[in-house]
Amino acid sequence: METVLETDDQTFSNYRAEIARLLKRAAELTPVDQDRIRMAVRLRHDPDEARKMFPNGTPVQAVGYSALGALAAADGELLPDRVVELEALLEDGLAQV
């Protein structure tokens, strides 16, 4: 069981690092675009609605899709409570940018 937990911790650490990279990219966006990402994270279980938050061909679309993709991938690899932690890190980080 320890191996699973260690793997889970390592996987979680990898996703935390990805969220940190995304937050650095998001820091270059306008506050309105940062809010779009926050809202999309809240809507992410309805992918069509979440994607509507990002105008096509814009920098926020690239960062937002990356954020949603990272969380979707985490859903398949981590326990739900760990994914909720990642969502909170992203939302809290956006609030501080």
Q: Tens place of pLDDT for every residue, the chain, 97 residues?
A: 444 445 688 999 999 999 999 999 999 999 999 999 999 999 999 999 999 999 999 999 999 999 999 999 999 999 999 999 999 999 999 988 6
Domain that holds residue 68: 2-96
Helices 2-26, 31-42: crossing angle, 10 deg rounding: 150
How many domains does the chain contain in total?
A: 1
Looking at residue 64, its amino acid is G
Instruction: Quote the DSSP letter at residue 78.
Output: S
Burial 47-76 (b: 16+ CB within 10 A, else e): eeebbebbeeeeebbebbebbbebbeebee
